Amino acid sequence: MMAFSEVQQYNISGKNIENNANTNFNTSSFFTGALITIVNSSSNTGTYVIDSVSGDIITVTQELVTETVSNGSVVTNVLFNTDSITAVSQIPQTKGMSYHVFLDLGARADDDLGAQSPITNRIGLLAETFGVQTTKQRPTFPVPGTALVTGESKTLSIDLAAATKTFNMGGIITEQLLVKKFPTGGRMDETNPLSTDGYPGKDGSEVARVLTAQEVAQFLHSALDSSFLQPYQNITNMAVLVPSRVGYDYNYHSGVNENTPVEYLPLIPFSFKSRFQDNLRSVTLDNSAYFTPSHSSTIQTHPVVIQNITTDFVPGQPWLTFSIQGEFIFDVLGSAKDVFGEDS
């Protein structure tokens, strides 16, 4: 999960955000290099990088528009542990990321978009259940005649070194803060018939909007119905964060030992990767990223194919339930994308 701290009343001037409550910012949540998201601001809604923190003032690296906000939020995007997630669990999810499950859109892999915050082009899921099934492809066959000699029939198998890895999850969908980032130029410069200001995000800035639960569900179904040619819509990767005590090299994570309670352990993405020493007799790939605790700048995700999404709409109910089934994969075959890409 992603924990956050928030401030609801503040002044903005230049690159400074001043807390109107006359209290200092919590430096364990707000610190240099961390990402913050300003929500419900008339001029500054978006994600920024902290340059410094001094008392009740945060200085960011980007220029801001001067304003006073009385009912908004400044939210940190720093990954902590399950205890922190539980402490800040919020329904609806309108002020930050606090999830164990993330779905990545194809655009998160687009280097042309530049830096993206942990919540950009990504959907968080309040998953209450998560199941994984690994099925080994290992055919077996009986050896004819063995029972004639030994009184016991024998069976052999062939290890095809292949398996299918499927998952299912269920939970609830509430209102959610969705942050998107789009490319500049091209169709983004076309005239917007609904606004004289053009299309939000045309200048490369992030677009942050709070969607209703029903709108989030509609987006998920639309994403599944799309293809690789719609990277700002198509879901390609998933991260399911789980507590971890032992790192890639079988050493404990920094600050962790055998007595550290599970709720205080760092979180890493569930994967099928092995630690370094477990794979010595084969081609050793660098899987260390999958055993590195997730934080505000990095959440390692796994390629997936989502095969089914079900959402249950109840009239008048502000939230709804969902179930998702899919399969973990190595990667999406790229040949078709190369042929049908925009450049071609």
Q: Is 327 helix (H, G, I), strand (E, B) or coil?
A: strand
Which numeric CATH code is attached to 1-80? 2.40.30
Classify the phi-psi angles of 182: left when phi > 0, otherwise alpha if psi is within -120 to 50, otherwise beta: beta
Q: In this predicted model, what pLDDT tens digit does every residue of 92-113 receive, in sequence order?
A: 555 455 678 889 999 988 877 7
DSSP per residue, 121-135: TEEEEEEEEEEEEEE
Q: How far apart are CA 142 and CA 153, in angstroms?
A: 7
For residue 73 the two structure tokens come to 């939020």
Q: How many beta carbons lie within 10 A of that of residue 259, not counting itself?
A: 6
Which residue carries 């499927």 as its tokens? 166
Contact 110, 240 (CB under 8 A): no
Q: Within a 10 A sphere around the Cβ of 226, how many other Cβ atoms?
A: 16
Contact yes or no for 14/63 (Cβ under 8 A)? yes
pLDDT in tens for each of the 344 residues of the chain?
343 445 667 888 999 988 877 677 766 567 666 667 776 677 887 777 777 888 888 898 888 999 887 766 676 655 556 655 555 455 555 545 567 888 999 998 887 777 677 778 888 888 889 999 999 988 898 988 888 888 889 999 988 888 999 999 999 998 888 888 888 888 888 888 888 888 888 888 888 888 999 999 999 999 999 998 899 999 999 999 899 999 999 999 877 888 888 877 888 999 999 999 888 876 767 888 899 887 655 678 889 999 999 999 999 898 999 999 999 988 655 434 443 444 43
Closest CA to 40 of 212, 210, 202: 210
Q: Give Cα 249 distance to the centre of its chain.
A: 25
Domain edges within the chain: 1-80, 90-344
Determine the length of the chain: 344
First to last CA, the chain: 40
